[in-house]
Amino acid sequence: MANLKISELNPVITVTNDDVLAIVNGGETKKITVADLVAYNQLGWNRIDDTVYTSSNKLSLSDGVQITLPNNGGNIVKDGDYTFYDSATNKLLGDSVNDVYILTVVFSSAAANTNSTHLDFALEGSGQINRVSKTLQYHKGNGVEQNFHDVYQYYTDADFVANGVTPKIVANGGTAEIWDIIFFIQRTQRYI
């Protein structure tokens, strides 16, 4: 394909994966192959359901003891061949530096004393860096099941891509139980 400006292109053109396109942004020109452009547009999503901790087998959280929020990936539904979570290591995965993701974490929980107990959720990378964190409150009363559905947005840096990130949870102020854990991970932007 010849070096043409967009205004010079024929409305119907044929390109191959090896063809190179020039993208100009702010005076800077970046060359990208058609294959890379196609890969850039492949975003994808994963839904990962834990099948170990259910309403009949609840995960107990001790007061002040942070643990990895487990998800064995017993049921996985996904768009394409993308894998954004490794159930063997309990880590969120990233493909490329500067990709952007949205993580939805869903689970049921109850605490014996909701006046003093809350949960703290965090994504931790190497060096125990809190990437994303949130305090989760109980509102329904002592021992009453409460459904949590929280959304977190994050990007992947070189450390994230190389090592992954671990979802962590801790009950503070009392004990709690968690079950029916679901992760829904969607890649919303790929960086070229």
Domains and CATH numbers, the chain: 6-40 (no CATH), 45-189 (2.60.120.1120)
Could you tell me the pLDDT band of residue 169, with boundaries at 50, 70 and 90? very high
Residues 170/69, Cβ–Cβ less than 8 Å: no
Would residue 87 be called left, alpha or beta, if left means φ above 0 and alpha means ψ between -120 and 50 degrees? alpha
Is the per-residue pLDDT at 20 higher than 90? no
Find tokens 């994230």 and name the residue. Answer: 160
Kindly report, residue by residue over 41-61, the tens digit of the pLDDT: 678 999 999 999 999 999 999
The answer to whether the Cα torsion of 86, 91, 96, 98 is positive or negative is positive
What the block records as the tokens of 159 is 């450390």
**Rg of the chain's alpha carbons, rounded to an integer?**
22
Q: How far apart are CA 80 and CA 134, in angstroms?
A: 30
Could you tell me the pLDDT band of residue 128, with boundaries at 50, 70 and 90? very low
Residue 53: count of CB within 10 angstroms of its CB? 21
Q: How far apart are CA 174 and CA 169, in angstroms?
A: 13
Kindly report, residue by residue over 72-103, the tens digit of the pLDDT: 999 999 988 889 999 999 999 998 888 999 99
> What are φ and ψ of residue 159, in 5° steps?
-65, -45
Is the per-residue pLDDT at 9 higher than 60? no
**Who's near 89: CB < 8 A, 6+ residues apart?**
164
**Who's near 30: CB < 8 A, 6+ residues apart?**
22, 23, 24, 192
Is the per-residue pLDDT at 68 higher than 60? yes
Q: How far apart are CA 47 and CA 83, in angstroms?
A: 10
